[in-house]
Amino acid sequence: MKLTIVGGGGFRVPLVYGALLDRKERLGLDEVVLYDVDDSRQDRIGHVLDGLAAEKGVQLPFRTTTDLVDAVRDADFVFCAIRVGQLEGRVIDEDVPLGMGVLGQETTGPGGICFALRTIPVMTKLAETMAAHAPNGWLINFTNPAGMVTEATQRILGDKVVGICDSPSGMCRRVAAIMGRDPKALWFDYFGLNHLGWLKDVRDGTGAPLLEELLADDAALERFEEGRLFGGDWLRSLEMLPNEYLYYFYYAADTVNAIRGGGSRGSFLLQQQREFYARNGADAPAALADWRATRHDRERTYMAEARAAAGQEGEHDIEENSGYESEAMAVVDAIVNNTREVLILNTANRSALPFLDERAVVEVPCIVGRSGPVPVAVGEVPAHAASLISTMKDVERTTIDAALSGSEQLAIKALALHPLVPSVNTAREIFDGYRRRLPELAEAFAA
């Protein structure tokens, strides 16, 4: 079995490789190939991987390449986690809208649109290369904005693209932990798009709905991320538990103020990772632990002021730590070993959400076996969620069309239709701001 990692020089590759080492036999892995446009970063990561293999005493040969065809040829699985424009690009994605008082975030809001505009052409090229040279391969996509990227690449590879995010499973694990239950023994009614999802209920073997009781329990809500983020009153109004990324919709103005006061996530990570690569990847486990530890900064930064003001500072007791690589492994394992496990993934809707068409990529529980993920029927959902999903699906598709056509008109339309952008004029200013600071974007969208 050949597995290729596109974005082989990426900061999180050691996590994935470490997980592959643990499952080498079970997956029948023979060859791992790392591909990256930046060979020097890839070399540094290569040293980290050598160290990991030595530490675990497992042999799993890998090689690096900068030739995309060589990398994907006859691959069974292609993992893709890339950041087109690198973290410098992310800082611009986030800063430009923030300068206009609009949310600046990697995947939600205008930042996600700008990120998608430069990422989709690159991902389309990867998908076309796979169609030509690895027609039976699975594309396991982590590249953000994962929902849009999955939908764009599915236009070429169909159902052979699976989009992954660790936030839904992370939330389900936190909810199970709070309930003192084994997550495997529960059914999670989760639905939505990537970074735009809700848990509408949780059921156990008796079929009893369990979410209402959790939402009624303020003390329990205080003990995990989503409970603290949204607050009991709002959760009881919604009667659902939203994905953490919905914080940006429900508390948009508060987030903008907090980020403007405290600095963007992009600039924090840029600093952290510059140091990591400058030190040749030395101390990778410590650096990765550090990255993980700051993941909850989303909450700490944005909620800190509000919580402190209310005198409610507290500690998390429920954290969860290995989402990223375990999700990827679970998908590959389910396909290779036909386990029919239930995983929350990004895949074509079929009719899981009845108000969307068949090809719309959605994030819902799927049964996963040899032939890939099959989404379960979610059925009706509250009107508020259905309408936000429909609006955002239209924004996503307008963005994909803009990225593929280089049409300024479509790019501005996507920005203007986004619920977090308050005016068409703001959308125009944001697009101009991006174009001024990103020469590649200016070129791609030259009139």
| Shortest spacing between CB 262 and Mn ion, in angstroms | 22
Residue 7 or 232: the one with the smaller Cβ distance to ligand G6P is 7
State in angstroms the smallest separation of the CB of 164 from Mn ion: 8
Cα 139 to Cα 39, 149, 332, distances in angstroms: 22, 11, 10
Catalytic residue among 36, 166, 189, 333: 166
Q: Is 315 exposed, middle or buried (0-12, 13-18, 19+ CB in 10 A)?
A: exposed
CB of 70 to ligand G6P, least distance (A): 27
Q: Which residues pair with 4 in a beta bridge?
A: 33, 78
402-407 contact pairs (CB < 8 A, 24+): 402/117, 403/116, 403/117, 403/118, 403/119, 403/120, 403/121, 403/152, 404/120, 404/121, 404/124, 404/152, 406/444, 406/445, 406/446, 407/445
The C-alpha atoms of residue 94 and residue 113 are separated, in whole angstroms, by 11
Nearer to ligand G6P, 60 or 259 (CB): 259
295 binds, among Mn ion, ligand G6P, none (CB under 5 to 8 A by kind): ligand G6P
105 binds, among Mn ion, ligand G6P, none (CB under 5 to 8 A by kind): none
Rounded to the nearest whole angstrom, what is the least distance from the CB of residue 294 to ligand G6P in the complex? 7
418 marked as binding residue: no
Which C-beta is closer to Mn ion: that of 165 or that of 332?
A: 165
Shortest gap between Cβ of 249 and ligand G6P (angstroms)? 16
Q: Which does 238 bind (CB under 5 to 8 A by kind): ligand G6P, Mn ion, none?
A: none
Judge whether 144 is annotated as a binding position: yes
- Cα–Cα distances (Å) from 286 to 10, 20, 289, 296, 317, in that order, read 16, 20, 5, 17, 22
Does residue 245 have an active-site annotation? yes
Q: Which is nearer to Mn ion, 165 or 361 (CB)?
A: 165
CB closer to ligand G6P, 82 vs 269: 269
When CB distances are held under 5 to 8 angstroms depending on the partner's kind, the choice from ligand G6P, Mn ion, none that residue 350 binds is none
d(CA 34, CA 78): 10
By the criterion CB under 5 A, which residues form the site for Mn ion?
165
- List interacting residues with ligand G6P (CB under 6 A): 144, 165-167, 265, 269, 295
Catalytic residue among 17, 35, 190, 245: 245
Region of residue 231 (left: phi > 0; alpha: psi -120 to 50; beta: else): left
Residue nearest to ligand G6P (CB): 167
Identify whether the C-beta of residue 365 lies closer than 8 Å to the C-beta of residue 339.
no
- The answer to whether the beta carbons of residues 239 and 248 sit under 8 Å apart is no
Determine the Cα angle at 181 with ends 177 and 185, to 5°. Answer: 125
Cβ at position 141, least distance to ligand G6P in Å: 11
343 binds, among ligand G6P, Mn ion, none (CB under 5 to 8 A by kind): none
Least Cβ distance, residue 106 to Mn ion (angstroms): 9
Closer CB to ligand G6P, 129 or 153, in the complex: 153
Cβ-closest position to Mn ion: 165
Distances (CA, A) of 388 to 87, 125, 384, 395, 404: 29, 30, 6, 10, 24
Token representation of residue 247: 């914080």
CA–CA separation, 134 and 128 (whole Å): 10
Among ligand G6P, Mn ion, none, what binds residue 413 when CB lies within 5 to 8 Å by partner kind?
A: none
165 labeled part of a ligand binding site: yes
Cα 331 from Cα 323, distance rounded (Å): 12
User: Which of 64/264 has CB closer to ligand G6P?
Assistant: 264
Is 349 annotated as ligand-binding?
Answer: no
Contact yes or no for 414/398 (Cβ under 8 A): yes
Catalytic residues: 166, 245
Binding-site residues, please? 90, 144, 165, 195
Binding-site residues for substrate, please? 90, 144
Binding-site residues for Mn(2+), please? 165, 195
